[in-house]
């Protein structure tokens, strides 16, 4: 899925003043280009983030003093107003089209499993899969059809068509399973024990530095 978004080169002025004019500051950057400050009409962002995923390619049209340029980008980060929850800044990433990259692709589960009708529960083990490939081949979504799964069955990585990209998970790893009520209880207990073990192992270890937030006036 590809979406087109119109932007303009950012004019002079403070970010808050631009926002009062209905413009959202943004920036696009990547390994083959210089950073370009932009603005987006607030109305053009309405509903955008509900229509795309983290791996959706966006055709970014940049208008400036010269002829408009269009490049493929991914949304890297969105900053929101803490009170209104409206976007106040967007980072776009323009990848090198000839260099593979790693990206998390969301999973969407469709269908109703016979195992659910028989009293089983759907257990989603991964909500994203990290893949490796060229940006043009990265899917915006991975759809898993569970309409034929019975209790005790699931969908493994090797059973999913990933096209031209490579999943960075073991082929035998299950992405979703249909488990009995007792099986769900056991899996939840095992997950809780694993979390406790991880927390114990990390206790006393130095915390990783958080990524710095960009600031604007």
For residue 147, give the H/E element and its range: none
Report phi then psi at 107, rounded to 5: -105, 135
- The whole-angstrom separation of Cα 148 and Cα 68 is 49
pLDDT of res. 78: 95
- The whole-angstrom separation of Cα 56 and Cα 142 is 12
Closest CA to 121 of 169, 170, 188, 171: 188
- pTM for the model: 0.77
Show the CA angle centred on residue 10, arms to residues 36 and 39, nearest 5°. 95
- The whole-angstrom separation of Cα 116 and Cα 141 is 24
Q: Where are the alpha helices (DSSP H) in 59-217?
A: 114-117, 181-202
Q: What is the pLDDT of residues 50-89, one digit of tens each?
A: 889 999 999 999 997 676 789 999 999 999 999 999 999 9
Q: Which segments of the chain have a pLDDT < 50? A: 186, 194, 198, 201-202, 204-217
User: Hey, which CATH number is domain 2-93, 3.30.70.141, 3.40.50.1100, 2.40.240.10, 1.20.120.530?
Assistant: 2.40.240.10
Query: Where do the structural domains in the chain lie, given as residue ranges?
Result: 2-93, 101-202
35: left (phi over 0), alpha (psi -120 to 50) or beta: beta
- The whole-angstrom separation of Cα 94 and Cα 90 is 13
Identify the DSSP state of 180.
-
Q: What is the pLDDT of residues 166-181, one digit of tens each?
A: 999 999 999 999 998 7
User: Hey, which CATH number is domain 101-202, 2.40.50.140, 2.170.120.20, 2.60.40.420, 1.50.10.10?
Assistant: 2.170.120.20
pLDDT of res. 152: 93
With residues binned 3-state (H G I as helix, E B as strand, rest as coil), the percentages for the chain, rounded to 5, are 20, 40, 40
Residues 88 and 144 sit within 8 Å (Cβ to Cβ): no
């Amino acid at each position: 899925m590809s979406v087109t978004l119109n932007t303009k080169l950012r004019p002079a002025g403070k970010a808050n003043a631009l926002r009062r004019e209905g413009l959202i500051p943004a920036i696009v950057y990547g390994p083959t280009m210089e950073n370009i400050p932009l603005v987006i009409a607030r109305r053009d962002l309405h509903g955008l983030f509900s229509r795309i995923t983290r791996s959706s390619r966006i055709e970014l049209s940049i208008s400036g003093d010269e002829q408009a340029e269009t490049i493929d980008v991914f949304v890297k980060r969105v900053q929101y107003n803490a009170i209104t929850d409206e976007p106040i800044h967007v980072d776009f990433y323009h990848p090198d089209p000839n260099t593979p990259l790693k990206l998390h692709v969301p999973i969407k589960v469709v269908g109703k499993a016979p195992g659910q009708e028989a009293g089983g529960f759907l257990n989603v083990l991964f909500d994203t899969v990290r893949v490796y490939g060229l940006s043009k081949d990265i899917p915006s979504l991975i759809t898993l059809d569970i309409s034929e799964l019975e209790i005790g069955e699931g969908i493994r990585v090797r059973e999913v068509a990933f096209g031209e990209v490579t999943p960075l998970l073991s082929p035998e790893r299950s992405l979703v399973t249909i488990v009995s009520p007792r099986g769900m209880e056991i899996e939840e207990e095992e997950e809780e024990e694993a979390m406790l073990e991880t927390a114990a192992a990390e206790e006393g270890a130095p915390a990783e530095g958080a990524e710095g937030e960009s600031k604007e006036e």
